[in-house]
Structure 1
Amino acid sequence: MNSQIINMALVMGSMQITNRLDLEDTKTKQLILGAYISAQVIVLSISYIIQRRILSKKDTTVLKYLDQPKPMSGEEPKLVTTTNMAYDLEQNAQAQKQALMGLALMVFLHFQFGVIRPLVVQSILPVKNALQSKFAQVHLFGKPADGDLKRPWKADNPFAALTGAEPQSEAAEKAAIKKAEKAEKAGKSESKKDL
């Protein structure tokens, strides 16, 4: 089942749960806050375990890919040469940063404005997303990095089905990488001539 559909079902289900709760009751608020904090601890623990596993594998296989610029920036894709270990660590660090930013935002909203309802949703979705992330699938559950789990990991596009956008084939990706490598070499040789 599509991840976005599951997320929507979880959001709707948690909204129904919060409608049945007495959100003015201090004990209920404390339970929801405790569940939220526990969920964030679980997410950060999962991230830490993944980081340890990435470091223990020491996968120094070379990984080349084109880093796509932000939409409508007008920039060309940039060739990135790294290792699987460095790439996985970078992806995990981004997930940690995102989790901490979400935590900071929710704590601010809760203590500044008394927001309680979103804490119920945020007690469920981050744990689900952390366990379903591509690096968790590879490093926690031991799935091979093939197919959808092949690096570089693409972010799921919820609008791909609506727009009819098809993912780039592996052969087209390799051709684009070779073209970028040639352009990079040509740029380096031109800069040497100028010196």
Structure 2
Amino acid sequence: MNNPAVSNLIISLGAMQVARRIPMDDPQTVNYLRIGYVASQAISLAIYYYITLKIRKRNDLTVLKYVNPAPPMNPDAKPELVQTTVKDYDLAEVGKAIKSLFVSLAFMAFLHGYLKYTQPLFIQGLMGLKSTLESNPAKLHLWGKKAEGDLARPFKAGGGLLESLTGKASGPQTDAASIKAAEKAGGKSE
């Protein structure tokens, strides 16, 4: 399963079938689900912490230049030139992943704590750990894959709704012409 969307769908559907067989009205089972969910989130945080340690140990100070496109909803904004190092870029990506993990945790606290849904605890416990292990920083620093193709920095964002409607790529641009144009425009950032 090379496509994460397909594997996410298969795991979600399989987890839903398994979750139907779990007695969600039993308080002891719900406690086990809570413990499992919190444990999977803690494991994900530990994995990201380990990746952060590996990034800092490697200390790759190779300069990375790219141009972030202007926001599509702001016609006055200009593309922004970003000049950073591979180390700082990877640390920023891990930071984004950790922030996403905490947003997911808050959402699950709302779903389970306020709305009293228990089935998502089981499914999101699996999916959160899966997405951590399949993240780009994990592929590079945990699984030791080469930074080429889809793993070349800066990472290409998955196609969103706006991109599919307009047909324009909204990811960072790394070609020399885009970088030169952004340098002339004075859109530097670090």
| TM-score band, normalised by shorter chain | 0.7 to 0.9
CA deviation digits over 1:21-71, x for unaligned, max 9?
A: 211011211121111111101110110001001111111111111123443
What's the offset of the Cα at 1:158? Answer: 6.4
Distance, in Å, in 2 between the alignment partners of 1:71 and 1:175 is: 20
Residue of structure 1 in register with 2:87 after alignment: 85
Gaps of 5+ in 1: 188-195
- Partners of 1:181 and 1:121 lie apart in 2 by 46
**Amino acid in structure 2 at the alignment position of 1:150:** A
Give the AA of the match of 1:56. Answer: K
Partner of 2:24: 23
Aligned AA (1:184): G
Q: Distance in 2 between matches of 1:36 and 1:11?
A: 15
Is the partner of 1:55 in helix, strand or coil? Answer: helix
Higher relative contact order (CA 8 A, sep 6+): 2
Rg larger for: 1
> Shift in Å at residue 8 of structure 1?
1.1
Please give the TM-score of this superposition, normalised by the length of structure 1. 0.84
The residue type equivalent to 1:16 in the other structure is: Q
Kindly tell me the number of residue pairs found equivalent between the two proteins: 185
Instruction: State which of 171, 179, 182 in structure 2 corresponds to 1:180.
Output: 182
Whichever structure has more helix as a proportion of its residues is 1
Structure-2 separation of matches of 1:107 and 1:76: 38
Q: What value does the CA root-mean-square deviation take over the aligned residues?
A: 2.6
Normalised by the size of structure 2, how large is the TM-score? 0.86
Deviations 1:80-104 (A, max 9, x none): 1111111111111111111012112
Q: Counterparts of 2:50 and 2:183 in 1: how far apart (Å)?
A: 35
Greater mean alpha carbon deviation, residues 38-47 or residues 139-148: 139-148
Aligned equivalent of 1:118 = 120
User: In 1, Cα distance between the equivalents of 2:136 and 2:65?
Assistant: 18
Aligned pairs for 1:1-195 within 5 A? 1-74=2-75, 75-157=77-159, 165=167, 173-184=175-186
Q: Percent identity?
A: 36
Matched letter for residue 33 of structure 1:
R
Does structure 1 conserve the Cα–Cα contact (< 8 Å) formed by 2:67 and 2:173? no
In structure 2, stretches of 5+ residues that fail to align are none
Asked if the contact 2:66/2:174 (under 8 Å) is kept, the reply is no
